[in-house]
Amino acid sequence: MSAVATLTGEVRADGVGKTIDETTLLLPTDVHADPGECIVLRGPNGSGKTTLLRIIGGLLVPSVGTAQIGGREADERDRAVRAAVAGLLGAPTTYRDLTLIDHLVLVDSTWGGEPATSDDRAQALLGRLGIAALHDRFPHELSSGQQQLFRLALTLARPASVLLLDEPEQRLDTAKRQVVAGIIGERAQSGVTVVMACHDPDLTAALATRIVDIVPAR
Amino acid sequence: MTTPPSPQPDDDALPTFEVDDHEWLGQADWIIGGEAAAKARAQGRYAAYVLMLMAAVYGFPIVQATFKTSDSATLRDQLHSAVAYGVGLAAVGAIFAAAVWAGRFRGPVVPPMPWIDLVLAAPVDRALAVRRWWRYAVVGALFVGGLGGLTLSAGLAYAGVVGPLVIPIALVGGLVLGLAVARVWLWAQVRSWPGPDRGLSLLWRVDDALRELHGESLRQHSANTSTLAGSAMTGNLRTARLTFARPVRRARTRRLRPGRPFPVLVRRDVLGLRRQPSSMLTGLGLFLLGSVVLAWALTQPAAPGIAVPLAIVPLYLGYGAWAEGLRLQADNIGTPSLIGSGPLEEAGAHLVVPTALATLVLGGSYAVAVALSSGGVGVGAVASIVCALGALAGGHLLAAFRGQPALVSGPQILIAWYLMPSVVVLIVGSLLPLLLRAGKEGGAGIAVWLVVGVVAWGLHRVRRLTHLHRT
């Protein structure tokens, strides 16, 4: 057994930018978010929203500036940061031999969820997202929209104080976008810090406590 | 000149037209093919030359070294036993099974995409339109079969295990086997797409089999070829694996039982193998083969020295078939963690199932070998088995977490990068029985340190790769 620090959801990205060789992926940008806030990153394709989210999540080292989670450097190698940050940044790789419910039970169990009620939590989450009937499907048996809902379920199944989402509305119909907006809003109200890139004005209007416009490098 | 095959009764009243297949295909060749056909033939000749060179430089010496022993009379008797014939038949069966398996996603007939889209769409006889790719495959299969028979028999004859008369017989046998395998491979390709005529009679009705090849199936096989080639060139092993894999649809009602993190990860792997019995059986077949050879090598004084390295190869591959969980963990590197356990704990959990299965099979094989032989249980042999299990576990950590090859790398570097974990296991595994042989002072200590070193290196790779992606 080892102790892992519990970090609050304070997100501080000060002047973070990323340049690889001669190519600038992200101009220096500030993002500050406190627990319970939902920050929406807005900007055209290629402006660096995903890069910024990856820096905040500790997956990418910024070329300039600093990023912190709960006062600690955002570095995925830090167990406390890993415990604090949940993110849907691209498609997570899934087990092709596990069904949807198995995946959620696996995630829940590895985060110390109570085994006796793990199934119920998994089923409830799938139900909230409107895909409870698909619980015994394998990931390759889903449509692209259903896959997006499943990825969101995987991300939401684990505990976190910071939730990073890269265009969670991708491939979803209007009704499902509202469902997802409701769940993200609830997470924010429960004290989770949400930072998300989004192209949907309705979702942005419904959720954003603040909007950060990302300026493209060129 | 050909007319459309078997006109339907209602077609009698319809106007018809004739297609000069050879003329049309000649035109297509002239427009699309250009120099491509001649270039493909030159590449084929070069591949044959390289293969022949490798057979002479490596194949023949390896075979004769394999059967070189101080007790050739005992070995000759064992090679003429019912068990040896059984193993030979099983090997031939495995080759046919491999042809059926490969034919599902990459058959012998794989024309280039433009040919499929632009030429096969025309009403030319499909058997003629794709025949050249079938012939390439047949020539290749004949060449490999003949060369295999020649190399094996020449090596055996040189080692004094068989007479020289066996060489021409094996050559003919290899050619026949090559042709038969090519036809089964084509049959499997036909069966990869639904159609009315998919029976075994297609094995000798080759033209009909070629006509049964669906355009979409040919596209799929061609695309798979490109994907596999691309994956091999870039070292993207996940893409290659998924191209090979059949979608899982079994036992969906079976649930992953929740629990503490470590046991649930182990149960995940058990569930994965129950849903993919083909992986379970492939692993079992390979591991059993390796176990039998290793147990034979550890209990029979007549066994040639190279038997242990030869056993390590199927052992390594069999263990790998059971270690899908480990590879999937490595696939997820670079994404925010979904699994709450640390990377080392997760990797350790994914080693439990393959190691338990390996212990069971290897231990069982050794117990049977000891029972059949006149000697008792050898401490050195048991220690060799335990250490081999450790080396296999460490080697598969290295394999799953080998990461990406160097960006600027030639084919040799790429092959070395791919083979590195298996070569490490092969070297360490082969040294173990020598080091642990009774009376060898200090050997046990070196053997243990070697195994610990491989496992530690594997765990280091897990840690390093898990965090390396940040930069």
pLDDT in tens, B404-463: 777 666 777 878 888 899 999 999 988 888 777 755 667 788 888 999 999 999 999 998
Of the three residues B194, B217, B234, the one that is the final residue of a domain is B234
Q: Does A115 reach chain B within 8 Å, measured CB to CB?
A: yes
Residue to mutate among A75, A96, A108, A138, with most B CBs inside 10 A, is A96
pLDDT tens figures, B316-342: 999 999 999 998 898 888 777 788 888
Q: Does B248 reach chain A within 8 Å, measured CB to CB?
A: yes
A58, A79, A92 member nearest B338 (Cβ)? A92
DSSP character at residue B33: I
Read off the amino acid at residue B341. Answer: S
Confidence of residue B33 (pLDDT cuts 50, 70, 90): low
DSSP per-residue string spanning chain A? ----PPPP--EEEEEEEEEETTEEEEEEEEEEE-TT-EEEEE--TTSSHHHHHHHHTTSS--SEEEEEETTEE--TTSHHHHHHEEEE-SPPP--TTS-HHHHHHHHHHHTT--HHHHHHHHHHHHHHTT-GGGTT--GGGS-HHHHHHHHHHHHHTS--SEEEEE-TTTT--HHHHHHHHHHHHHHHHTT-EEEEE---HHHHHHH-SEEEEPPP--
B242 found inside a domain: no
> Can you tell me the distance from the alpha carbon of B222 to that of B10, in angstroms, rounded to the nearest whole number?
36
- pLDDT value at residue A124: 96
Does residue B13 register a pLDDT over 70? no
Does residue B204 register a pLDDT over 80? yes
Confidence of residue B3 (pLDDT cuts 50, 70, 90): very low
Query: Do B217 and B136 share a domain, yes or no?
Result: yes
pLDDT tens figures, B134-187: 998 998 899 889 888 888 888 778 777 778 888 899 999 999 999 999 999 999
Read off the amino acid at residue A68. Answer: Q
> Can you tell me the distance from the alpha carbon of B180 to that of B409, in angstroms, rounded to the nearest whole number?
38
Query: Do B166 and B297 share a domain, yes or no?
Result: no
- pLDDT value at residue B421: 92
Q: Do B341 and A110 touch (CB under 8 A)?
A: yes
Of the three residues B165, B199, B234, the one that is the final residue of a domain is B234
B238, B264, B276 member nearest A109 (Cβ)? B264
Q: Does B407 reach chain A within 8 Å, measured CB to CB?
A: no
Number of domains in chain A: 1
A1 found inside a domain: no
Query: Do B269 and B228 share a domain, yes or no?
Result: no
Does residue B77 register a pLDDT over 60? yes
B146 found inside a domain: yes
Does residue A84 register a pLDDT over 50? yes
A59, A75, A115 member nearest B336 (Cβ)? A59
Backbone angles phi, psi at A38, to 5 degrees: -125, 110
- pLDDT value at residue B16: 66
Query: Do B148 and B279 share a domain, yes or no?
Result: no
Q: Does A168 reach chain B within 8 Å, measured CB to CB?
A: no
> Can you tell me the distance from the alpha carbon of B102 to that of A111, in angstroms, rounded to the nearest whole number?
40
- pLDDT value at residue B1: 41
Nearest chain A CA: its distance from B329 CA (Å): 9
A24 found inside a domain: yes
Q: Do A112 and B340 touch (CB under 8 A)?
A: yes
Q: Which domain holds residue A73?
A: 11-213
Number of domains in chain B: 2
A206 found inside a domain: yes
Search chain A and give the residue with CA nearest B325: A95
Confidence of residue B235 (pLDDT cuts 50, 70, 90): low
DSSP per-residue string spanning B66-104? HT--S-HHHHHHHHTSHHHHHHHHHHHHHHHHHHHHHHT
Q: Which residues contact B201 (CB under 8 A, 6 or more apart)?
A: none
Query: Do B172 and B214 share a domain, yes or no?
Result: yes
- pLDDT value at residue B177: 96
Q: Which domain holds residue B199?
A: 19-234
Identify whether the C-beta of residue A61 lies closer than 8 Å to the C-beta of residue B467: no
Pairwise pLDDT comparison (B307 vs B267), residue with the higher score: B267
| Lowest-pLDDT range of A197-201, B275-279, B331-335 | B331-335
| Lowest-pLDDT range of A205-209, B60-64, B384-388 | B60-64
A32 found inside a domain: yes
B7 found inside a domain: no
B243 found inside a domain: no
Query: Do B168 and B128 share a domain, yes or no?
Result: yes
Does residue B215 register a pLDDT over 90? no
For this complex, say whether ipTM is above 0.85: no
Summary mean pLDDT of chain B: 83
pLDDT tens figures, A45-71: 999 999 999 999 988 889 999 999 999
Query: What SS3 state is found at B158?
Result: helix
Average pLDDT of the residues in A94-109 = 88
Of the three residues B199, B234, B269, the one that is the final residue of a domain is B234
Query: Do B228 and B266 share a domain, yes or no?
Result: no
- For residue B338, list chain A residues with Cβ-Cβ distance below 8 A: 92, 107, 154-155, 157-158
| DSSP-H helix ranges across B55-193 | 60-66, 72-79, 82-103, 113-114, 126-129, 131-158, 166-191
Does residue B2 register a pLDDT over 50? no
Confidence of residue A143 (pLDDT cuts 50, 70, 90): very high
Nearest chain A CA: its distance from B334 CA (Å): 7
Does residue B364 register a pLDDT over 90? yes
Q: Which strand (E) or helix (H) includes residue B363? A: helix B343-372
Query: Do B198 and B68 share a domain, yes or no?
Result: yes
Length of chain B in residues, anyone?
Answer: 471
Q: Which residues, in sequence order, are bridge partners of residue A42?
A: A213
Residues of chain B with pLDDT > 90: what percent? 34
Pairwise pLDDT comparison (A218 vs B198), residue with the higher score: B198
| Lowest-pLDDT range of A80-89, B94-103, B266-275, B304-313 | B304-313
Read off the amino acid at residue B333. Answer: I
CB atoms within 10 A of CB B375: 12
Q: Do B324 and A97 touch (CB under 8 A)?
A: yes
Nearest to A74 by CA among A162, A187, A157: A162
Query: Do B155 and B195 share a domain, yes or no?
Result: yes
B238, B242, B252 member nearest A99 (Cβ)? B252
B1 found inside a domain: no
- pLDDT value at residue B245: 73
- Between positions 2 and 61 of A, the ones with CB within 8 A of B are 57-61
pLDDT tens figures, A162-171: 999 999 999 9
Q: Which residues contact B246 (CB under 8 A, 6 or more apart)?
A: B104, B278
Average pLDDT of the residues in B2-25 = 60
Q: Does B246 reach chain A within 8 Å, measured CB to CB?
A: no
Identify whether the C-beta of residue B125 lies closer than 8 Å to the C-beta of residue B116: no
Q: Do A99 and B335 touch (CB under 8 A)?
A: no
Query: What SS3 state is found at B250?
Result: coil
